[in-house]
Structure 1
Amino acid sequence: MATGATIHTFDIHLADVDRGVYEELSLRVARHPSETVPFMVTRILAYCLEYAEGIAFGAGGISSTDEPAVLVRDLTGSITAWIEVGAPDAQRLHHGSKIADRAAVYTHRDPEKLLAAWQGKTIHRADAIVLRAFDRRFVDAVAAEIGRRNDLTVSVTEGQLYLELDGATFDTQIDERTAG
């Protein structure tokens, strides 16, 4: 019998000083059996750091080819932000950048390897695609503390990410670059 998705709940206190976004969020996040906990952590951080009216996790999750891990839709249903997580290939970025006004990638992988993989490939508006990388040790440490129910505080100021998860504290610098 196939294993179903594991549901995690997150009560999130978001204070993104850099963007002036302050929100209280309650998320139910389905983690597909093939999704690693570090990938899920990166997906949740992408959701928080991109938070805007109309944000949602992609309908197909990590197995979808039609939608990214996170997206933002306007009131007409048009995708305004295409947000990939992990190590998407150049073709997905090209596709997402053509569909949405804005595209971004959040990763817990080595950003140099991602940029090298995209080098010389056709990516629509590559110089406008933001790549944000989190230190792998930071993501792994947070992933080790994830439970089924989580109380999470996410604070961002001057490119520094501070996180408190059920009493444990973590921080890292967000490595930001462009894909082009």
Structure 2
Amino acid sequence: MSLYFVRHGQTDWNQQGKLQGRSDIPLNAIGIQQAKDTSRLLKDVSIEKIFCSPLTRAMQTAAILQEVTKCDIVYDDRLKERCFGDLEGKKMNTITTYLWDFQALPCPHAEAMLAFFQRVQEFLKEITTDLRTHDYLIVAHGGVYLPVHEYFKGLQREQDLMKIVPKNCTLTKFDASLSILV
């Protein structure tokens, strides 16, 4: 069976190029429409359960997707975006080289990269035994996609990780082969 991953829809901070992290920013009108568009891709997929970050932008996206999947949503703190501490709210283009550096010390009040990956992958270990018989959907964040991708497909931590972060409301399917559906 498969694990599907959807990054939340667009927020005003996404549109403005600001780093969100744990800042609880809601979807904007474009993000709501993106979620509706993505929900159409799930109409023929039998999702057993949606696992979702408890941040508003992910919860709003999951609620829209649930209208099509008709399954329960389970919220899990381990799917929250990485805490970027004092960098949250700053423009991404001024700080991106620092964001995903595994060797760098975290900026003040931020979550270390390795701790973030461990947190998300601990969650994945719990649910992957059920993937043999069920299809699940994770609705979370661009940063959360990185440890999910590493868990299923491997990841070279030296590469520019920002290049593999999916766009808002991209649907990715993890199974024997990685396929990006939107």
* TM-score normalised by the chain length of structure 1: 0.27
Higher helix share: 2
User: In proportion to residue count, which structure has more strand?
Assistant: 1
TM-score, normalised to structure 2's length? 0.27
The higher relative CO (CA closer than 8 Å, separation ≥ 6) is in 2
